[in-house]
Amino acid sequence: MQNASLFRRETHLARLAETPEWDVLIIGGGATGLGVAVDAASRGYRTLLLERADFAQGTSSRSTKLAHGGVRYLAQGNVGLVREALRERGRMLRNAPHLVRRQAFVIPCYRWWERGWYLLGLKLYDMLAGRFGIGGSRALSAAKTLRHLPGLQPAGLRGGVLYYDGQFDDARLALALARTAADQGATVLNYITLTALRKDAAGRITGATARDEETGQPYELRAKVVVNATGVFVDEVLCLDQPAAAPLVRPSQGVHVVLPRTFLPGPEALMIPRTPDGRVLFAVPWQGRVVVGTTDTLVAQAAAEPRALPAEIDFILDSAGRYLARPPQRADVLSTWAGLRPLAAPSTAGAATKEISRSHKLLVAASGLLTITGGKWTTYRQMAEDVVDRASQLGPLPARPCRTAELPLHGAPAAGATPATNDPLAAYGTDAPALRQLLQENPAWAAPLAPGFPFLQAEVVWAARHEMARTVADVLARRLRLLFLDAAAAQAAAPVVAALLAAELGQDEAWQQQQLAEFRALTAGYLLP
């Protein structure tokens, strides 16, 4: 097991105060920023990452949980993006097998021409994956399609096409990146807010000032390169550099709903190739539930906790209901969440989201501020490599090759070992034995947090001691995914989590009550009225 003590907040705060200058300072603790931290630290650069909330609290914990090349990007002719994403999908599966796995998808076909058409496109998809392929697509008869997708609407079904992509737990993978960065020597901190950028007399960035959100402690930081990797909030940092800077990001909201597994009881996922507005929709088995989504709605302003619009919920339920034997109703929804995609586009009115680029962009300001925007989860590693390559030119930093293409992430089993699949602690990888040792410290921690779920009280203690969890939401939304799986169950589990966290973090009863009030307000956005 990697050294768990490397990822205690107190340890990293001490490093923050003691280090006179950083090679690379990264602002933003989502997929992109954490990927940059792993890359920079693994090259031997003195690396600091600051996140003003929790790791992956925004977009990076609110995805469809798919590591994929993007079938619909292929339909749009964006072959380069698809090839890059398929290559990176293969690396995710290899470097984090405890968190990323192969998932079978079935496209049901109700028109005579669809099966041949979709199979042709998916054979090209398989071909583009090359040596990173994870399984060939094939045509299915109507009978086999129903065996693969019990719960599918059988009326008018002519057959289907089966293909493979990847599935992962996004927030847990983000945490694995944070811990990998720490294993490589990076200093990584949540709940530290950037307050200003420091510049020399020539206007070049020399560092930043920051504040600990828990204590109010200010920090003056020197850095050779500052990277703005704040996702949908990149414009806020750009305005700290140049108050009149033009917006670079056009936020697009994606909504998901979670249904009981009875709606899609088999192991395969459903891919709806064309919704009424011309998009695709997925219904994917995930941790004992079914995640259905997503939408693609331009929004005027980024929010830390975006809320699903009633029309988006209705769209998902109506679209899924056309393909499921039992159409889902609002009363069936266990949880719903919204995430914002940082689409790299100028804020021009009228552009359709499907026309806005999903590829990433690097921008260097006159001050030297390096901004990464756009992209998607699957290509986080390539984005990070591009950022650090550019940062090494800006620093200047000694040129060193990227190491992340072959770098196992924290918790990954040894090469050749088969990761656990049925183990409820499989997501912890090689940390699982140490987590189980907590049960010897206190057997009461073996109690489950919520009926019908595998989560244990010991996992809350582990999250506080070794995963920088600071709040009830940190635990129930991102260390454990209960809020995303069943919001009512998460609400019921919150008092136990608050008590366990308070004991670990040295907090009192008033803190617990404040945490519970904040979590109740948060949960309201995940429950349908």
| Mean pLDDT for all residues in the chain | 93
What's the pLDDT band for 358 if we cut at 50, 70, 90? Answer: low
Examine residue 83 and state whether it is found in any structural domain, yes or no: no
Please indicate, yes or no, whether residues 268 and 320 belong to a single structural domain of this protein.
yes
pLDDT at position 348 is: 44
Is pLDDT above 50 for 271? yes
Handedness of CA 177, 178, 184, 186 (dihedral sign): positive
Is residue 416 situated within a structural domain? no
Is the domain of 381 the same as that of 446? no
The CATH number assigned to the domain holding 520 equals 1.10.8.870
pLDDT band at 270 (very low <50, low <70, confident <90, very high): very high
The answer to whether position 87 is within a domain reads: no
Answer yes or no: do 243 and 254 share one domain: no
The CATH number linked to 282 is 3.30.9.10
In this prediction, residue 356 has a pLDDT band, given cuts at 50, 70 and 90, of very low
Q: What is the pTM of this model?
A: 0.95
256 shares a domain with 227: no
Decide if 70 is inside a domain: no
Residue 76 has pLDDT above 80, yes or no: no
Residues 6+ apart with CB under 8 A from 430: 1, 2, 98, 411, 412, 413
Q: Do residue 443 and residue 518 come from a single domain?
A: yes
Beta bridge partners of 381: none
Is the per-residue pLDDT at 405 higher than 80?
A: yes
Q: What is the pLDDT of residue 513?
A: 98
Q: Which of 329, 347, 365 is the last residue of a domain?
A: 347
Per the rule left: phi > 0, alpha: psi between -120 and 50, beta: everything else, 156 is: left
pLDDT at residue 141 is higher than 90? yes
Give the CA distances from residue 44 to residues 95, 232, 412, in Å, rounded to whole numbers and listed in that order.
20, 29, 21
Distance CA 353, CA 362 (A): 20
Same domain, 462 and 483: yes
Whether the pLDDT of residue 398 is over 90: the answer is yes
CATH number at 31 reads 3.50.50.60
Residue 418: inside a domain = no
Give the confidence band of 186 by pLDDT, cuts at 50, 70, 90: very high
d(CA 46, CA 398): 12
The verdict on residue 82 lying in a domain is: no
Shared domain for 286 and 178, answered yes or no, is no
Helix (H) or strand (E) holding 427: none
The larger pLDDT score, comparing residue 160 to residue 352, is at 160
The whole-number average pLDDT for the span 270-290 is 90
- Are residues 430 and 450 both part of a single domain? yes
- Print the domain residue range for 132: 100-166+250-347
**pLDDT per residue over 58-69, tens digit each?**
999 999 999 998
| Mean pLDDT in residue range 7-13 | 95
According to the model, what pLDDT value does residue 354 have? 43
Q: Can you state the angle between helices 457-466 and 487-505, rounded to 10 degrees?
A: 50
The two beta strands, 159-168 and 66-67, are: antiparallel
**Weakest mean pLDDT among 142-151, 269-278, 349-358:** 349-358
What would the mean pLDDT of 471-485 be, rounded to a whole number? 98
Confidence bin at 278 (pLDDT 50/70/90):
confident
Pair 241, 254 in one domain: no
Q: How many residues does the chain have?
A: 529
Q: What 3 state SS string does 321-347 have?
A: HCCECCCCCHHHCCEEEEEEEEEECCC
8 domain-assigned: yes
Whether 361 and 486 share a structural domain: no
pLDDT at 297: 87
Number of domains into which the chain is organized: 3
**Three-point CA angle 346, 350, 355, nearest 5°:** 70
Give the pLDDT band (50/70/90) at residue 256: very high
User: Do 50 and 135 lie in a common domain?
Assistant: no
Residue 160 and residue 191 in one domain: no
pLDDT of residue 4: 58
* Torsion over CA: 472, 173, 335, 422 (sign): negative
Residue 398 has phi, psi (to 5 degrees) of -60, 135
* Residue 192 located in a structural domain: yes
Q: What is the mean pLDDT of residues 343-356?
A: 47
